[in-house]
Structure 1
């Protein structure tokens, strides 16, 4: 696959490759694509969670209980448990 870029973009990609973080311009472009794929996947997951939340209806659980559950879950995630 060949991609044509305007000179300023080409210079940017080549500069990123020269930083030493990437072995060449193709490596930099592959990294951008991987990041974009992850971003799209995260966005799709977020939309699914929002939709599920909206479709689940109104909760009768008090906010204080929901917050404590969320904090406990975050603590587990932070400690790797």
Structure 2
């Protein structure tokens, strides 16, 4: 799809009314503009997510604290869930 004027048929279902509302309000000139803006927003959201994920991975890799073994993590998670179950039973 190298041609910027490529026409696609898209089934919007329940979203069709939302698209039409945006056009009727004058916020967008056409349904194509609404869909284009939505795809651009999705691309921005994906870039932000990827940047945050990269930041967190880099932060984790730079952390000099010792890593937990699988057994230690399993034990901690088991204790955490047991505590939550106990608290839930105590509040009922």
Q: TM-score range by the shorter chain?
A: 0.5 to 0.7
In 1, Cα distance between equivalents of 2:63 and 2:18: 48
2:32 is equivalent to residue 26 of structure 1: yes
Aligned to 1:77: none
Q: Take 1:12 and 1:4, find their aligned partners in 2: how far apart are those partners?
A: 13
RMSD: 1.4
Which residue pairs with 2:21 in the alignment?
15
Which structure has more helix as a fraction of its residues?
A: 1
State TM-score, norm by structure 2. Answer: 0.58
- The gaps in structure 1 that reach 5 residues or longer are 60-81
- TM-score normalized with structure 1 length: 0.66
Q: Structure 2: 5+ residue runs without aligned partners?
A: 1-7, 66-92
**Offset from partner CA, 1:3-38 (integer Å, 9 cap, x none):** 0122x3211111111111111111011000000000
